[in-house]
Structure 1
Amino acid sequence: MDEQGVYCQAFADDVVLVFSGHNTQDIEIKANTALEQINQWGSLNKLKFAAQKTHAMLITRKFKYDTPHLNMGGKDITLVKEIKILGITIDSKLTYKKHISNISKKALNIYKQLSRAAKVSWGLNPEVIRTIYAAAVEPIVLYAASVWAKSLEQKGIQKQLNTIQREFAQKICKAYKTVSLHSALLLAGLVPLDLRVQEQAKLYEAKRGRPLEYLPDDREIEQRISFMDAEHPAFNKSIDYSCIDSLNLETIQKHRIEGAFIFTDGSKIKGKVGVAISVWERGVETKAMKLKLEPFCTVFQAEMYALDRAVRHIKDKNIQKSNLFSDSKSSLDLIKRHTTTHPLACSIRKNLIAIQKQGKALHIFWVKAHVGVEGNERADHLDKEAALYKRTKADYDACPISYIKHSIRSDTLEKWQNRYGKIPQDQLPEQLSYFYQMSNRPTKFSNKPN
């Protein structure tokens, strides 16, 4: 299909073909050729495609054009003005008005049922309404937001979204219908829906690895491992850990702990992130590693990276018996899951399997933080030193998606504040007008002139 300039995407029981050309005749030749190939392939594989259920849509900016004649298996294919694919209604002008109209009807149907049980002076608790809105209404509206986000430039579409959100905001803040949309959103603590749509679109772009202004110094986002690159289920190894409260003689004898003790820790202090690994043998520290992460990295990333470097150290060195200690239970739980797609977790699992194949013995333990375990306290001290005083280049600089979410939300709140600041004060309620004046009063912390 690629050789003919045709994009083909198949789902469970549907096939979507996309053709492009400079004129109608070019598209007609490509489409009919591809449809004939699909029809022949179906006959060879005892599959029959329903031509009467197959529809075509022409997307063009030209005002005058010839209508292409398409057929499949000798039957003409109907040309339509809109097609629904995976829950998204796409129209021939790419305005997405029909799609937004459909999701508006779904959301308002939920509101009609909700309004019977939520009145101003009685009924459902506002937090229950907020939960319904966040768990049921927003997902309906935000579905595939990255596809139709650009349509928000149309005033009619913004008006439909405002109608949806106004109804729920009034129920959440227990206000009467006379309250304005801006006041209801502020009192209910809801971000305007059009800004939420833009958030979802930007987040999708970030997850796809496309460049965004939120990424510092052209850093890359921490990408999940593809299922194609992950370990095959047939070769999964069981990885588990034990929980201990201390490292006294009784605990060592109970768990038969022998060999090298390797403690890992990661922390974030004063906006800086550090990682430390402390290796002990016969009660004496034999090696200490201090590593640095970028300031935008999280503590969870630090804990995972510490475990990754520790496991690599065990694999590469001649350590036949070792014990790995971490105070991050969430990290160990993630490593335990063979279905994880986290890049650091997958790297740790891969190295743990390699250690098993080398015939080395490695036991993993979770130990409580700050309970007097000497090696754990030492690692905690070293990671803070690495965060505060290490001046070398960061050892790990993959940007977490949580940082992108935080940056996008900060940008959204700034846009919302600018939008709210442009509202004439005579359109605000008395209490909100006073709040607006107080929030704009210069303080010693602001850059506004006194």
Structure 2
Amino acid sequence: PAATLTESGQRVATEMSGDSSGGHMIELVGAAGATADVGHADSAGDDSDGSGLLNLLSDDIFVDEGKTIDVPAPPSSNTQDKDGPTCPSCKRQLPARAKICVRCGINVETGRQIITSQDTNLNEIYGIAEKTIWWISWVSWLGVYPIASEAFGLKKPIVIRTIAVVTILISGWFLWLELSFSDSMIRHKNLMLWSGDGEIDPDTLLAYYYGTGWGDTEAFDNQLELSADSDLNEDERILAAHNAIPKDRQAIGQFRASQLVTHAFLHGGIFHLLGNLLFLMVFGSRVNALIGPLLTVIVYPVLAIGAGLAHAMSCADQMASPMLGASGAIMGLAGMYFVFFPAHNVHVAAWWRWGIIRWFELSMTIFTVRGFWVVLFYIAFDVAFTIIGAEDGVAHWAHLGGFIVGIAVGVILLLARLVNARGGDLISVILGRRAWALLGRPGYAGDDE
């Protein structure tokens, strides 16, 4: 049987058993549902019928069954403390010297919410990072990469994990086709995002035919042989041979709307894939955990489309070329992360392998930094390389486009109150309590129910 002792609205409950030697913990259950262990209950003699001593609240105080004990109750939520501050959100009077309204989760002086962090197993993450970096540093001697985030979300990032698995499978399949020069690449090249309507460069065209499996090389060679005795120069012969081949057999693909999404599931190499997966899991999983699976399923292709359109517009006057990779969509997730979690810590690993100077010694450190600094650090490279017009084979405009779309989507979700970042979002960090008019008041601002 259960024994219940009541006083002032508080409850103390303990389960009784027939074991005369057993003991049970007593918990005080407060109005807010918090519990605190204050002692244990021992049974005396034959306790099978619930008789005897029920509870031991301290070393000196025993309470017999059925008796009422004096357990001081905390003040009710309506109790006024004239000396205490008033919560600016729920308008309740708080105890003297109170700095935080527990119910609303805010600092009563600033109106800013208390940031909730994700409890991560950092020891395990650090251990895996150190072992992985030891191997990777032999290929990439210098690196600065995020490895974990403390951003908090209530949902499991199932969608992002699924996207990661699907991306690995499709990218692996596509890489195999490309490296094996499979004839099917002539068709599957149109999974990449093709953009550009500028003049064709003959040398680049030759690289397309002989360096990839994108076009019908045999048909191209036959056309070149047919024009061998013509009056055309070398460049004109190359272009003529290309134009004589049916479009679906040419090494240059044709734009299709579906490519705005499919390109995000393809990668050009193992390190390209691994780098994107790292950012996807660090930033994307936290966004997924906050906004939930349904919104993530909708948002991810939107970010990929935004990144693809930005890239396509940036190279509209250039020769047609393909773009592939999830980095544009992932930078969109980073943009959303920037809006939702600017103040949360991100754990970053940095390393340098010295080479022959110090016998290939590895220097490595792992440190924490606010999320907005991490995101701005990486997007700054895209801004800089775009300004100087660098041609490094990286789709910087796709990164910038995805990032801008991600920021816009994040702000819209906050303003529409479809997402609650619990005061850790960019708007709340900047505006403080002035953000309540846009995002709603934190905690419970209404009357008790």
- The TM tier, using the shorter chain, reads under 0.3
Tell which has more relative contact order, 1 or 2 (C-alpha 8 A, sep 6+). Answer: 2
TM-score by length of 2: 0.25
Q: In terms of Rg, which structure is larger?
A: 2
| More helix per residue | 1
